[in-house]
Amino acid sequence: MTKSILIYPQLEFAKVQIPTPPYSILFIADYLLKRNVDVELFDLRFDDESQVLNAISDKEPEFIGVSVMTGPQIQYAIKICELIKKEFKNIKIVWGGVHATILPTQTLQNNLIDYVIRGEGEKTYHELVSGRNLNHINGLSYKKEKKIIHNPDSAILTNLEINELSIPWTLIKPHRYILNGSFNAITSRGCPFRCAFCYNTLFNNVWRGWTAERCIQELDRCLDFGVKKITFYDDYFFANSKRIEDLFTYFKERDIKWKAELRVNRLNFALAQDAKKHGCTQMYFGAESGSQRVLNLLNKNITTNDIIESAKITKNADLSADYSWMIGIPGENKADREKTIHLIKKIKKINPESEFSIKILFPYPGTGIYNLAQQKGFKPPSNLFDWSKIRRDRASNYLKNKTQLETISLTSAIIGRKVFELKNIPILKLIRILAEFRWNHEFFGFGVENFYFKIFRDLIDKLMSRRNSAGYDPFTHELVSVKEN
Protein backbone atom coordinates (compact mmCIF):
# COMPACT_ATOMS: atom_id res chain seq x y z
CA MET A 1 0.00 0.00 0.00
CA THR A 2 1.32 3.49 -0.89
CA LYS A 3 2.10 5.54 2.22
CA SER A 4 2.70 9.20 2.88
CA ILE A 5 3.13 11.66 5.72
CA LEU A 6 1.95 15.27 5.51
CA ILE A 7 3.25 18.05 7.75
CA TYR A 8 1.87 21.48 8.69
CA PRO A 9 4.85 23.34 10.25
CA GLN A 10 4.67 25.62 13.26
CA LEU A 11 3.46 29.24 12.89
CA GLU A 12 4.45 32.35 14.74
CA PHE A 13 1.89 33.47 17.37
CA ALA A 14 0.18 30.16 16.67
CA LYS A 15 -1.82 30.10 19.88
CA VAL A 16 -2.94 33.72 20.00
CA GLN A 17 -5.60 33.05 17.41
CA ILE A 18 -7.96 30.12 17.20
CA PRO A 19 -5.82 27.56 15.38
CA THR A 20 -7.30 26.98 11.94
CA PRO A 21 -7.26 23.31 10.97
CA PRO A 22 -4.45 22.65 8.49
CA TYR A 23 -6.90 22.56 5.57
CA SER A 24 -4.14 22.53 2.93
CA ILE A 25 -2.91 19.08 3.94
CA LEU A 26 -6.28 17.90 5.26
CA PHE A 27 -7.90 18.07 1.84
CA ILE A 28 -4.90 16.41 0.20
CA ALA A 29 -5.08 13.68 2.86
CA ASP A 30 -8.80 13.20 2.17
CA TYR A 31 -8.11 12.86 -1.57
CA LEU A 32 -5.38 10.27 -0.86
CA LEU A 33 -7.45 8.30 1.67
CA LYS A 34 -10.27 7.97 -0.86
CA ARG A 35 -7.71 6.47 -3.27
CA ASN A 36 -6.34 3.93 -0.79
CA VAL A 37 -3.16 5.74 0.17
CA ASP A 38 -2.19 5.27 3.82
CA VAL A 39 -1.68 8.81 5.08
CA GLU A 40 -0.68 10.29 8.42
CA LEU A 41 -0.79 13.96 9.28
CA PHE A 42 1.19 16.10 11.75
CA ASP A 43 0.38 19.65 12.81
CA LEU A 44 3.56 20.96 14.42
CA ARG A 45 1.65 23.70 16.20
CA PHE A 46 0.67 20.79 18.49
CA ASP A 47 2.64 17.69 17.61
CA ASP A 48 6.32 17.17 18.40
CA GLU A 49 9.00 16.75 15.79
CA SER A 50 9.94 13.44 17.45
CA GLN A 51 6.45 12.09 16.62
CA VAL A 52 7.10 12.79 12.94
CA LEU A 53 10.46 11.01 13.05
CA ASN A 54 8.93 7.99 14.82
CA ALA A 55 6.12 7.80 12.26
CA ILE A 56 8.66 7.85 9.42
CA SER A 57 10.58 4.99 11.08
CA ASP A 58 7.36 2.98 11.41
CA LYS A 59 5.81 3.65 8.03
CA GLU A 60 8.90 4.14 5.86
CA PRO A 61 7.06 6.33 3.35
CA GLU A 62 8.83 7.38 0.16
CA PHE A 63 7.48 10.98 0.24
CA ILE A 64 6.91 13.56 2.95
CA GLY A 65 4.72 16.54 2.02
CA VAL A 66 5.19 19.89 3.75
CA SER A 67 2.80 22.84 3.51
CA VAL A 68 4.39 26.29 3.56
CA MET A 69 3.24 29.89 3.30
CA THR A 70 5.52 32.89 2.97
CA GLY A 71 6.84 34.26 6.26
CA PRO A 72 7.85 32.70 9.56
CA GLN A 73 6.44 29.28 8.70
CA ILE A 74 9.36 28.77 6.30
CA GLN A 75 11.94 28.64 9.08
CA TYR A 76 9.98 25.96 10.94
CA ALA A 77 9.50 24.03 7.69
CA ILE A 78 13.25 24.11 7.06
CA LYS A 79 13.91 22.93 10.59
CA ILE A 80 11.71 19.82 10.35
CA CYS A 81 13.08 19.02 6.87
CA GLU A 82 16.63 19.20 8.25
CA LEU A 83 15.76 16.79 11.05
CA ILE A 84 14.11 14.39 8.61
CA LYS A 85 16.93 14.43 6.06
CA LYS A 86 19.53 13.94 8.80
CA GLU A 87 17.93 10.65 9.86
CA PHE A 88 16.41 9.48 6.59
CA LYS A 89 18.77 10.41 3.77
CA ASN A 90 16.78 8.78 0.97
CA ILE A 91 13.38 10.17 1.79
CA LYS A 92 11.92 12.61 -0.76
CA ILE A 93 10.68 15.92 0.56
CA VAL A 94 7.87 17.70 -1.30
CA TRP A 95 6.93 21.33 -0.63
CA GLY A 96 3.53 22.72 -1.57
CA GLY A 97 1.47 25.79 -0.75
CA VAL A 98 1.44 29.40 -1.85
CA HIS A 99 5.12 30.13 -1.25
CA ALA A 100 6.49 27.17 -3.17
CA THR A 101 3.96 27.84 -5.95
CA ILE A 102 5.13 31.43 -6.35
CA LEU A 103 8.84 30.60 -6.22
CA PRO A 104 9.38 26.97 -7.29
CA THR A 105 12.92 27.46 -8.65
CA GLN A 106 14.24 29.26 -5.59
CA THR A 107 12.54 26.71 -3.33
CA LEU A 108 14.15 23.79 -5.16
CA GLN A 109 17.57 25.46 -4.94
CA ASN A 110 17.47 24.45 -1.29
CA ASN A 111 19.12 21.02 -0.96
CA LEU A 112 16.51 19.78 1.52
CA ILE A 113 13.67 19.99 -1.00
CA ASP A 114 13.32 17.42 -3.78
CA TYR A 115 9.97 18.34 -5.33
CA VAL A 116 7.65 21.33 -5.46
CA ILE A 117 3.98 20.98 -6.23
CA ARG A 118 2.57 24.16 -7.68
CA GLY A 119 -1.07 25.16 -7.16
CA GLU A 120 -3.69 22.79 -5.77
CA GLY A 121 -1.98 19.70 -4.46
CA GLU A 122 -4.61 16.95 -4.41
CA LYS A 123 -4.16 15.42 -7.87
CA THR A 124 -0.49 16.19 -8.37
CA TYR A 125 0.60 14.83 -5.00
CA HIS A 126 -1.47 11.69 -5.54
CA GLU A 127 0.16 11.11 -8.92
CA LEU A 128 3.61 11.60 -7.40
CA VAL A 129 3.13 9.19 -4.48
CA SER A 130 1.49 6.64 -6.78
CA GLY A 131 4.68 6.44 -8.82
CA ARG A 132 3.55 8.07 -12.07
CA ASN A 133 6.34 8.97 -14.51
CA LEU A 134 7.62 12.40 -13.41
CA ASN A 135 7.45 13.82 -16.96
CA HIS A 136 3.71 13.27 -17.01
CA ILE A 137 2.80 14.91 -13.71
CA ASN A 138 1.34 18.35 -14.32
CA GLY A 139 2.00 20.93 -11.63
CA LEU A 140 5.27 19.26 -10.58
CA SER A 141 8.70 20.96 -10.42
CA TYR A 142 11.76 18.82 -9.76
CA LYS A 143 15.52 18.46 -10.16
CA LYS A 144 17.07 16.32 -12.88
CA GLU A 145 20.83 16.18 -13.46
CA LYS A 146 21.29 19.47 -11.62
CA LYS A 147 18.64 21.17 -13.75
CA ILE A 148 15.29 22.35 -12.44
CA ILE A 149 12.36 21.17 -14.53
CA HIS A 150 8.90 22.74 -14.38
CA ASN A 151 6.16 20.57 -15.87
CA PRO A 152 3.06 22.37 -17.25
CA ASP A 153 0.51 23.65 -14.72
CA SER A 154 -2.10 21.21 -13.43
CA ALA A 155 -5.82 21.76 -13.93
CA ILE A 156 -7.62 23.11 -10.88
CA LEU A 157 -10.19 20.86 -9.22
CA THR A 158 -13.66 21.10 -10.72
CA ASN A 159 -16.63 22.16 -8.64
CA LEU A 160 -17.69 18.51 -8.56
CA GLU A 161 -14.26 17.40 -7.28
CA ILE A 162 -14.32 20.09 -4.59
CA ASN A 163 -17.71 18.79 -3.49
CA GLU A 164 -16.29 15.29 -3.16
CA LEU A 165 -13.72 16.50 -0.62
CA SER A 166 -14.51 16.39 3.07
CA ILE A 167 -12.63 17.06 6.29
CA PRO A 168 -11.02 13.75 7.39
CA TRP A 169 -11.57 14.30 11.13
CA THR A 170 -10.09 10.95 12.08
CA LEU A 171 -6.64 12.25 11.09
CA ILE A 172 -6.66 15.15 13.53
CA LYS A 173 -7.78 15.91 17.07
CA PRO A 174 -10.85 18.14 16.59
CA HIS A 175 -10.69 19.77 20.03
CA ARG A 176 -7.38 21.39 19.11
CA TYR A 177 -9.15 23.63 16.65
CA ILE A 178 -12.17 24.58 18.75
CA LEU A 179 -11.68 27.33 21.27
CA ASN A 180 -14.59 28.20 23.53
CA GLY A 181 -16.99 26.88 20.85
CA SER A 182 -15.29 28.94 18.10
CA PHE A 183 -13.98 27.37 14.92
CA ASN A 184 -12.49 28.57 11.62
CA ALA A 185 -14.00 27.00 8.50
CA ILE A 186 -13.39 27.11 4.75
CA THR A 187 -16.19 26.13 2.38
CA SER A 188 -14.88 27.33 -0.97
CA ARG A 189 -11.76 28.20 -2.96
CA GLY A 190 -10.84 31.08 -5.17
CA CYS A 191 -12.01 34.57 -5.94
CA PRO A 192 -12.88 36.07 -9.33
CA PHE A 193 -11.54 39.56 -8.51
CA ARG A 194 -8.07 40.75 -9.46
CA CYS A 195 -6.68 42.89 -6.64
CA ALA A 196 -3.10 43.72 -7.56
CA PHE A 197 -1.60 42.59 -4.24
CA CYS A 198 -3.44 39.29 -3.85
CA TYR A 199 -2.19 35.74 -4.45
CA ASN A 200 -5.50 34.96 -6.12
CA THR A 201 -4.45 36.75 -9.29
CA LEU A 202 -2.00 33.94 -9.99
CA PHE A 203 -3.28 31.04 -7.95
CA ASN A 204 -6.94 30.61 -7.42
CA ASN A 205 -8.93 32.86 -9.70
CA VAL A 206 -11.95 30.65 -10.29
CA TRP A 207 -14.46 30.32 -7.47
CA ARG A 208 -15.53 26.78 -6.55
CA GLY A 209 -17.33 25.78 -3.40
CA TRP A 210 -19.27 23.23 -1.47
CA THR A 211 -23.00 23.41 -2.13
CA ALA A 212 -25.16 24.47 0.83
CA GLU A 213 -26.03 20.80 1.31
CA ARG A 214 -22.35 19.77 1.46
CA CYS A 215 -21.53 22.71 3.76
CA ILE A 216 -24.30 21.58 6.11
CA GLN A 217 -23.01 17.98 6.14
CA GLU A 218 -19.51 19.20 7.06
CA LEU A 219 -20.69 21.84 9.54
CA ASP A 220 -22.99 19.33 11.27
CA ARG A 221 -19.85 17.33 12.14
CA CYS A 222 -18.34 20.47 13.64
CA LEU A 223 -21.48 21.02 15.74
CA ASP A 224 -21.10 17.46 17.05
CA PHE A 225 -17.69 18.54 18.35
CA GLY A 226 -19.23 21.47 20.22
CA VAL A 227 -18.82 24.28 17.67
CA LYS A 228 -21.21 27.20 18.16
CA LYS A 229 -19.39 30.08 16.48
CA ILE A 230 -17.78 29.93 13.06
CA THR A 231 -15.42 32.31 11.29
CA PHE A 232 -15.42 31.61 7.56
CA TYR A 233 -11.99 32.07 6.00
CA ASP A 234 -13.28 31.76 2.44
CA ASP A 235 -11.85 34.38 0.09
CA TYR A 236 -15.33 34.89 -1.34
CA PHE A 237 -17.90 33.36 0.99
CA PHE A 238 -20.85 35.25 -0.52
CA ALA A 239 -20.17 34.21 -4.13
CA ASN A 240 -23.43 32.32 -4.63
CA SER A 241 -26.67 33.88 -3.36
CA LYS A 242 -28.73 30.66 -3.35
CA ARG A 243 -26.03 28.92 -1.27
CA ILE A 244 -26.03 31.83 1.16
CA GLU A 245 -29.82 31.82 1.47
CA ASP A 246 -29.83 28.12 2.40
CA LEU A 247 -26.92 28.55 4.80
CA PHE A 248 -28.66 31.49 6.50
CA THR A 249 -31.64 29.23 7.24
CA TYR A 250 -29.31 26.57 8.64
CA PHE A 251 -27.42 29.08 10.83
CA LYS A 252 -30.70 30.32 12.27
CA GLU A 253 -32.10 26.81 12.88
CA ARG A 254 -28.94 25.68 14.64
CA ASP A 255 -28.32 29.00 16.41
CA ILE A 256 -24.84 29.36 14.92
CA LYS A 257 -23.03 32.67 15.33
CA TRP A 258 -20.76 33.43 12.39
CA LYS A 259 -18.44 35.91 10.65
CA ALA A 260 -17.38 36.16 7.04
CA GLU A 261 -15.71 38.47 4.54
CA LEU A 262 -17.55 40.52 1.94
CA ARG A 263 -16.47 43.19 -0.56
CA VAL A 264 -17.76 46.60 0.56
CA ASN A 265 -19.52 47.18 -2.76
CA ARG A 266 -21.47 43.90 -2.53
CA LEU A 267 -23.15 44.90 0.73
CA ASN A 268 -26.65 46.34 0.88
CA PHE A 269 -28.96 46.96 3.80
CA ALA A 270 -31.21 43.97 3.06
CA LEU A 271 -28.21 41.61 3.07
CA ALA A 272 -26.75 43.13 6.24
CA GLN A 273 -30.10 42.91 8.03
CA ASP A 274 -30.66 39.37 6.83
CA ALA A 275 -27.16 38.31 7.89
CA LYS A 276 -27.69 39.84 11.33
CA LYS A 277 -31.05 38.06 11.71
CA HIS A 278 -29.37 34.77 10.83
CA GLY A 279 -26.56 34.88 13.37
CA CYS A 280 -23.88 37.06 11.75
CA THR A 281 -21.93 38.90 14.45
CA GLN A 282 -19.38 40.65 12.25
CA MET A 283 -18.50 41.11 8.61
CA TYR A 284 -14.96 41.78 7.56
CA PHE A 285 -13.97 43.95 4.67
CA GLY A 286 -10.73 44.55 2.75
CA ALA A 287 -10.98 48.35 2.61
CA GLU A 288 -7.22 48.77 1.97
CA SER A 289 -6.90 52.56 1.48
CA GLY A 290 -8.60 55.91 2.07
CA SER A 291 -7.11 57.28 -1.14
CA GLN A 292 -9.07 56.62 -4.32
CA ARG A 293 -5.86 56.95 -6.34
CA VAL A 294 -4.30 54.11 -4.31
CA LEU A 295 -7.45 51.96 -4.49
CA ASN A 296 -7.28 52.28 -8.29
CA LEU A 297 -3.60 51.42 -8.23
CA LEU A 298 -4.46 48.29 -6.27
CA ASN A 299 -7.12 47.41 -8.86
CA LYS A 300 -9.49 47.03 -5.92
CA ASN A 301 -12.55 48.07 -7.91
CA ILE A 302 -14.19 49.84 -4.99
CA THR A 303 -14.57 53.53 -4.09
CA THR A 304 -13.96 55.30 -0.80
CA ASN A 305 -17.68 56.05 -0.91
CA ASP A 306 -18.43 52.30 -1.00
CA ILE A 307 -16.38 51.96 2.18
CA ILE A 308 -18.30 54.78 3.90
CA GLU A 309 -21.64 53.30 2.75
CA SER A 310 -20.68 49.88 4.17
CA ALA A 311 -20.12 51.49 7.57
CA LYS A 312 -23.52 53.22 7.44
CA ILE A 313 -25.21 49.99 6.40
CA THR A 314 -23.60 47.86 9.11
CA LYS A 315 -24.39 50.53 11.68
CA ASN A 316 -28.06 50.66 10.62
CA ALA A 317 -28.24 46.86 10.69
CA ASP A 318 -26.63 46.86 14.15
CA LEU A 319 -23.79 44.70 12.85
CA SER A 320 -20.14 44.91 13.79
CA ALA A 321 -17.56 45.24 11.01
CA ASP A 322 -13.83 44.58 10.81
CA TYR A 323 -11.91 46.64 8.25
CA SER A 324 -8.48 45.64 6.98
CA TRP A 325 -6.29 48.50 5.68
CA MET A 326 -2.85 48.67 4.12
CA ILE A 327 0.00 51.18 4.04
CA GLY A 328 3.45 51.04 2.45
CA ILE A 329 1.90 50.52 -0.96
CA PRO A 330 4.31 51.29 -3.82
CA GLY A 331 3.22 54.65 -5.25
CA GLU A 332 1.48 55.72 -2.02
CA ASN A 333 2.57 59.09 -0.56
CA LYS A 334 2.16 60.81 2.81
CA ALA A 335 -1.09 62.48 1.75
CA ASP A 336 -2.56 59.10 0.73
CA ARG A 337 -1.61 57.65 4.10
CA GLU A 338 -3.26 60.56 5.89
CA LYS A 339 -6.40 59.99 3.84
CA THR A 340 -6.41 56.37 5.03
CA ILE A 341 -6.12 57.39 8.69
CA HIS A 342 -8.85 60.02 8.27
CA LEU A 343 -11.18 57.57 6.58
CA ILE A 344 -10.63 55.03 9.37
CA LYS A 345 -11.57 57.69 11.92
CA LYS A 346 -14.67 58.52 9.91
CA ILE A 347 -15.69 54.86 9.69
CA LYS A 348 -15.17 54.43 13.43
CA LYS A 349 -17.44 57.45 14.05
CA ILE A 350 -20.14 56.06 11.77
CA ASN A 351 -19.99 52.54 13.26
CA PRO A 352 -18.28 52.67 16.67
CA GLU A 353 -18.71 48.89 16.95
CA SER A 354 -16.30 48.40 14.04
CA GLU A 355 -12.74 47.14 14.44
CA PHE A 356 -9.77 47.72 12.17
CA SER A 357 -6.14 46.90 11.55
CA ILE A 358 -3.51 48.47 9.29
CA LYS A 359 -0.99 46.11 7.68
CA ILE A 360 2.13 46.99 5.72
CA LEU A 361 1.89 45.68 2.17
CA PHE A 362 4.43 43.10 1.13
CA PRO A 363 4.73 42.74 -2.65
CA TYR A 364 4.63 39.02 -3.47
CA PRO A 365 6.23 37.91 -6.73
CA GLY A 366 3.67 37.20 -9.39
CA THR A 367 1.17 39.79 -8.14
CA GLY A 368 0.42 42.98 -10.10
CA ILE A 369 1.95 45.24 -7.46
CA TYR A 370 5.30 43.41 -7.55
CA ASN A 371 6.64 45.13 -10.70
CA LEU A 372 5.67 48.53 -9.37
CA ALA A 373 7.49 47.77 -6.11
CA GLN A 374 10.59 46.71 -8.06
CA GLN A 375 10.55 50.03 -9.93
CA LYS A 376 10.57 51.72 -6.51
CA GLY A 377 13.67 49.77 -5.49
CA PHE A 378 12.19 46.63 -3.91
CA LYS A 379 14.64 43.73 -3.88
CA PRO A 380 12.94 40.46 -2.98
CA PRO A 381 14.75 38.01 -0.69
CA SER A 382 17.01 35.72 -2.69
CA ASN A 383 16.71 32.59 -0.56
CA LEU A 384 14.24 30.70 1.59
CA PHE A 385 15.74 31.78 4.88
CA ASP A 386 15.37 35.49 4.05
CA TRP A 387 11.77 34.88 2.98
CA SER A 388 11.10 33.47 6.45
CA LYS A 389 11.82 36.90 7.94
CA ILE A 390 8.88 38.55 6.16
CA ARG A 391 6.28 39.82 8.65
CA ARG A 392 2.99 41.61 8.05
CA ASP A 393 3.87 44.29 10.62
CA ARG A 394 7.41 44.95 9.35
CA ALA A 395 8.13 47.35 6.51
CA SER A 396 10.19 46.07 3.55
CA ASN A 397 13.62 47.55 2.98
CA TYR A 398 12.73 49.67 -0.03
CA LEU A 399 10.15 51.70 1.90
CA LYS A 400 11.01 55.10 3.32
CA ASN A 401 10.04 55.91 6.94
CA LYS A 402 10.03 52.24 7.91
CA THR A 403 9.76 52.87 11.66
CA GLN A 404 6.90 55.28 11.14
CA LEU A 405 4.98 52.75 9.05
CA GLU A 406 5.58 50.05 11.64
CA THR A 407 4.44 52.38 14.42
CA ILE A 408 1.21 53.14 12.53
CA SER A 409 0.60 49.41 12.10
CA LEU A 410 1.33 48.66 15.75
CA THR A 411 -0.85 51.57 16.94
CA SER A 412 -3.73 50.32 14.78
CA ALA A 413 -3.40 46.85 16.28
CA ILE A 414 -4.01 48.39 19.71
CA ILE A 415 -6.59 51.07 18.89
CA GLY A 416 -8.49 48.96 16.40
CA ARG A 417 -8.98 45.80 18.43
CA LYS A 418 -11.60 45.16 21.10
CA VAL A 419 -9.18 43.02 23.13
CA PHE A 420 -7.28 46.17 24.14
CA GLU A 421 -10.49 47.59 25.56
CA LEU A 422 -10.20 45.09 28.40
CA LYS A 423 -9.63 47.85 30.89
CA ASN A 424 -9.12 45.57 33.89
CA ILE A 425 -5.68 44.46 32.68
CA PRO A 426 -3.31 47.31 33.76
CA ILE A 427 -0.60 46.70 31.12
CA LEU A 428 -3.21 46.75 28.33
CA LYS A 429 -4.61 49.99 29.74
CA LEU A 430 -1.17 51.62 29.67
CA ILE A 431 -0.42 50.46 26.14
CA ARG A 432 -3.80 51.78 25.02
CA ILE A 433 -3.24 55.25 26.53
CA LEU A 434 -0.02 55.66 24.55
CA ALA A 435 -1.61 54.36 21.36
CA GLU A 436 -4.61 56.65 21.79
CA PHE A 437 -2.28 59.64 22.13
CA ARG A 438 -0.51 58.69 18.90
CA TRP A 439 -3.76 58.03 17.05
CA ASN A 440 -5.51 61.23 18.14
CA HIS A 441 -2.50 63.43 17.37
CA GLU A 442 -1.45 61.42 14.33
CA PHE A 443 2.02 61.38 15.77
CA PHE A 444 3.93 58.29 14.70
CA GLY A 445 7.55 59.45 15.16
CA PHE A 446 10.00 58.06 17.76
CA GLY A 447 8.59 54.55 17.59
CA VAL A 448 10.24 53.31 20.77
CA GLU A 449 7.37 50.95 21.55
CA ASN A 450 7.89 49.43 18.14
CA PHE A 451 11.49 48.58 19.13
CA TYR A 452 10.36 46.97 22.38
CA PHE A 453 7.46 45.25 20.63
CA LYS A 454 9.86 43.42 18.32
CA ILE A 455 11.77 42.05 21.31
CA PHE A 456 8.55 41.31 23.17
CA ARG A 457 6.88 39.51 20.23
CA ASP A 458 9.82 37.08 19.96
CA LEU A 459 9.50 36.34 23.64
CA ILE A 460 5.71 35.97 23.48
CA ASP A 461 6.03 33.69 20.49
CA LYS A 462 8.31 31.37 22.44
CA LEU A 463 5.85 31.29 25.34
CA MET A 464 2.82 30.92 23.09
CA SER A 465 4.36 27.99 21.28
CA ARG A 466 4.03 25.95 24.46
CA ARG A 467 1.15 23.55 24.91
CA ASN A 468 -1.13 25.50 27.27
CA SER A 469 -1.47 29.20 26.65
CA ALA A 470 -3.90 32.08 26.48
CA GLY A 471 -5.89 32.62 23.33
CA TYR A 472 -8.17 35.40 22.16
CA ASP A 473 -11.82 34.65 21.44
CA PRO A 474 -12.87 37.02 18.67
CA PHE A 475 -16.57 36.48 19.36
CA THR A 476 -16.64 37.33 23.03
CA HIS A 477 -13.46 39.46 22.95
CA GLU A 478 -12.20 37.51 25.93
CA LEU A 479 -8.86 35.95 26.71
CA VAL A 480 -9.40 32.25 27.16
CA SER A 481 -7.20 29.31 27.93
CA VAL A 482 -6.14 26.89 25.19
CA LYS A 483 -5.78 23.41 26.63
CA GLU A 484 -3.97 20.57 25.00
CA ASN A 485 -4.24 17.00 26.26
Which stretches of the chain bind ligand B12, using CB under 6 A?
11-13, 17, 19-20, 22-25, 27-28, 65-67, 69-73, 94, 96-99, 102, 117, 120-122, 125, 186, 198-199, 233, 235, 364, 390-392
The residue whose Cβ lies closest to ligand B12 is 96
Q: Are 362 and 380 in contact (CB under 8 A)?
A: no
Q: Are 38 and 59 in contact (CB under 8 A)?
A: yes
Q: Are 307 and 322 in contact (CB under 8 A)?
A: no
User: Site map for ligand SF4, 43-72, x if CB under 6 A?
Assistant: ------------------------------
User: Site map for ligand SF4, 281-310, x if CB under 6 A?
Assistant: -----x------------------------
Binding site partner of 191, from ligand SF4, ligand B12, none, Cβ cut-off 5-8 A by kind: ligand SF4
* C-alpha to C-alpha distance for 473 and 16, rounded to whole angstroms: 9
CA atoms within 13 A on the CB side of 74: 21
CB of 138 to ligand B12, least distance (A): 13
CB of 162 to ligand SF4, least distance (A): 17
Binding site partner of 71, from ligand B12, ligand SF4, none, Cβ cut-off 5-8 A by kind: ligand B12
CB of 363 to ligand SF4, least distance (A): 14
Binding site partner of 286, from ligand SF4, ligand B12, none, Cβ cut-off 5-8 A by kind: ligand SF4
CB of 22 to ligand B12, least distance (A): 5
Q: Are 284 and 260 in contact (CB under 8 A)?
A: yes
> Sign of torsion, CA 369 374 375 377?
positive
Q: Is 299 exposed, middle or buried (0-12, 13-18, 19+ CB in 10 A)?
A: middle
Residue placing its CB nearer to ligand B12 in the complex, 24 or 351:
24
Binding site partner of 391, from ligand B12, ligand SF4, none, Cβ cut-off 5-8 A by kind: ligand B12
Residue placing its CB nearer to ligand B12 in the complex, 70 or 310:
70
Binding site partner of 250, from ligand SF4, ligand B12, none, Cβ cut-off 5-8 A by kind: none
Residue placing its CB nearer to ligand SF4 in the complex, 125 or 210:
210
CB of 263 to ligand SF4, least distance (A): 6
CB of 300 to ligand SF4, least distance (A): 7
Beta strands 188-189; 182-185: pairing state: unpaired
Write the secondary structure of 364-415 as one string of H (helix), E (strand) and C (coil): CCCCHHHHHHHHCCCCCCCCHHHHCCCCCCCCCCCCCCHHHHHHHHHHHHHH
Task: Write out the binding residues for ligand SF4, residues 219-258 only, by CB under 6 A.
Answer: 235
Q: 3-class DSSP state for residue 287? A: strand
Q: Are 41 and 169 in contact (CB under 8 A)?
A: no
Binding site partner of 364, from ligand SF4, ligand B12, none, Cβ cut-off 5-8 A by kind: ligand B12
Other CB atoms within a 10 A radius of the CB of residue 301 amount to: 13
From the list 7, 74, 140, 198, which residue makes contact with ligand SF4 (rule: CB under 6 A)? 198
Residue placing its CB nearer to ligand SF4 in the complex, 195 or 435:
195
Binding site partner of 193, from ligand B12, ligand SF4, none, Cβ cut-off 5-8 A by kind: ligand SF4
Q: Are 157 and 120 in contact (CB under 8 A)?
A: yes
CB of 250 to ligand SF4, least distance (A): 24
CB of 72 to ligand SF4, least distance (A): 21
Element (H, E) at 38: strand 38-43
Binding site partner of 290, from ligand B12, ligand SF4, none, Cβ cut-off 5-8 A by kind: none
Residue placing its CB nearer to ligand B12 in the complex, 99 or 315:
99
- H helices, E strands: number in the chain: 18, 17
CB of 195 to ligand SF4, least distance (A): 3
Q: Alpha carbon of 28 to those of 13, 40, 391, 448: distances in Å?
A: 25, 11, 27, 45
* C-alpha to C-alpha distance for 361 and 329, rounded to whole angstroms: 6
* C-alpha to C-alpha distance for 396 and 470, rounded to whole angstroms: 30
* C-alpha to C-alpha distance for 349 and 439, rounded to whole angstroms: 14
User: Site map for ligand SF4, 168-197, x if CB under 6 A?
Assistant: -----------------------x-x-x--
Other CB atoms within a 10 A radius of the CB of residue 267 amount to: 23
Of 346, 464, 354, 350, residue with least CA distance to 418: 354
CB of 25 to ligand B12, least distance (A): 6
The answer to whether 101 contacts ligand SF4 (rule: CB under 6 A) is: no
CB of 286 to ligand SF4, least distance (A): 5
The residues that touch ligand SF4, with contacts defined as CB under 6 A, are 191, 193, 195, 198, 200, 235, 263, 286
